[in-house]
Chains A and B, each alone.
Chain A
């Protein structure tokens, strides 16, 4: 970024509060802390207006303000002379600031008081760099992400299989972008939740772990459809706390969301395809200020491509031919105790919780068909078309739900697994005994 705001990249992350001063018509000053300053371009900033009514009144009267922004990595201070040019209550800048504010307040446990009333747009007229000791923190090493982004994008474009796309995207972010911890989550509009599908860099994969849409960095990226980036979360409440709070009520059905014990930087990009938020691509780092505006842009490109790719892969699998039935001898052994709870479609095998929701309904369907007829092979097409399943509301996400189910069963090392012998094909695989005892638990 050139011009008056050159070199101020680390002043707009909301880590060290900015300060705004104004005068009223009679010349009486007012000085106040600000939640958020957003750099609109190399000559304009947007300032969050939440409850600084005196600032707003003064700016209306005089059209001027002075702003102090602080570099969150070095502490170096800069004074900017501002001229007010307008107020925004909608549009890109407003939505971006609103999402960012919600993320910061949810992370700090501040609640609704942080709602954004408007984004006040100012032209920057003057800049003074405040004198101080030499800045200790070194300039951030510049990473060029355009090239790795293009390479990962090209690799994703070659794939038709949704499962492979997810692995490729996560591996590409680790190897090409240098991210230590990444996760992909799918939105389930029906119950207002995001479900983790796969991750890298954590001790558990976390397939099946849930985040409320609208909660925390990940949930706000989904509800707002905007990227959310936090550069120093050390002074806030851990995102995981909020996530835990939301899910602890489900007790034994809880799958913990993978997360760093001390994440200092977090970045979440919504996966938007055909105008719909289909999930979130998330990354975090134990380093402060790890992610830049460039990471934000690069991750959203990959998230968008992944959204489109998964959607295409999902509609495409119907063309697969019917599977060749592979009769297999029943393995004798103690029957697997399958317990199904109808109210949340959760399934336990031998008292171990496996999965619930849509993926739970799918597993229930496979297991009861197998228990009744011994059938182990299924197709995406018949699941879509089978009216008895009554699952039209999620049919667009069928493939990704199957991927979730397969990964969860693998991670849990369940005695029943899913195999995908061909595109659009599903096969039940038993690691030990293949005898089932189905039990339907009361509500």
Chain B
């Protein structure tokens, strides 16, 4: 379902937003600071600041449903991946490096589009990061336009 092209997309210079249901059964939103696809495990890891997103990170549960949308700001190409959380864990060294790299790439990309650094700094917190692995079950095209919402591929 996640081919090489899509894997490269979600690991590339994209904005990452996610949603889960909170304890009261309402949707809650956060931004992630980096994503990685593990083809062998068929799993996507994303990194989220607990400090900035206490509501969402406090609501994540193993096997809980999750939606993650990846958007390339330069051309609005957007995909939403839905699935179930498989693991919630403290980040390793590679994860921290990924988050740092992500913050740098995002700054470069958005600066290039005319967004001020002080704005970008609000969106790429690197402190108190948690790693969230989930198993993708379906992918949807969400690039603005008539195709938005079309299922790219769904396994169930």
> Which of the candidate stretches B1-9, B35-43, B91-99, B142-150 sits at the interface with the other chain?
B142-150
* Residues of chain A within 8 A of B69, CB atoms compared: 31-33
Q: How large is the interface on B (under 10, 10 to 19, 20 to 34, 35 or more residues)?
A: 35 or more
The answer, among B21, B28, B115, B123, for a CB contact under 8 Å with A27, is B21
Q: Is B118 an interface residue (CB 8 A)?
A: yes
Contact B17 A31 (CB under 8 A): yes
> Given A68-B29, A131-B52 in contact, is the A31-B67 Cβ separation under 8 Å?
yes
Q: How large is the interface on A (under 10, 10 to 19, 20 to 34, 35 or more residues)?
A: 35 or more
> Which of A28, A53, A64, A136 lies at the interface centre, i.e. has the most chain B CB atoms within 10 A of its CB?
A28
The answer, among B20, B78, B145, B149, for a CB contact under 8 Å with A33, is B78
Within B83-138, the residues touching A (CB, 8 Å) are 113-116, 118-123, 125
* Residues of chain A within 8 A of B18, CB atoms compared: 31
Measured between alpha carbons, how far is A438 from B78 in the docked complex, in Å?
62
Q: Is B46 an interface residue (CB 8 A)?
A: no
Measured between alpha carbons, how far is A137 from B123 in the docked complex, in Å?
15
The answer, among B17, B27, B68, B140, for a CB contact under 8 Å with A23, is B27
> Which of the candidate stretches A14-22, A178-186, A351-359 sits at the interface with the other chain?
A14-22
Q: Is A130 an interface residue (CB 8 A)?
A: yes
Contact B19 A21 (CB under 8 A): yes
Contact B149 A54 (CB under 8 A): yes
Contact B52 A21 (CB under 8 A): no
* Residues of chain B within 8 A of A131, CB atoms compared: 51-52
Contact A75 B119 (CB under 8 A): yes
The answer, among A16, A21, A113, A235, for a CB contact under 8 Å with B145, is A113
Q: Is A442 an interface residue (CB 8 A)?
A: no
The answer, among A22, A52, A132, A234, for a CB contact under 8 Å with B148, is A52
Q: Is B65 an interface residue (CB 8 A)?
A: yes
By beta carbon, the residue of chain B nearest A16 is B119
The answer, among B19, B51, B119, B120, for a CB contact under 8 Å with A66, is B19
Measured between alpha carbons, how far is A235 from B19 in the docked complex, in Å?
27
Contact B148 A28 (CB under 8 A): no
> Given A21-B19, A64-B27, A75-B123 in contact, is the A30-B118 Cβ separation under 8 Å?
no
* Residues of chain A within 8 A of B145, CB atoms compared: 51, 113
Measured between alpha carbons, how far is A130 from B122 in the docked complex, in Å?
9
The answer, among A22, A31, A75, for a CB contact under 8 Å with B80, is A31
By beta carbon, the residue of chain B nearest A30 is B67
Measured between alpha carbons, how far is A286 from B52 in the docked complex, in Å?
34
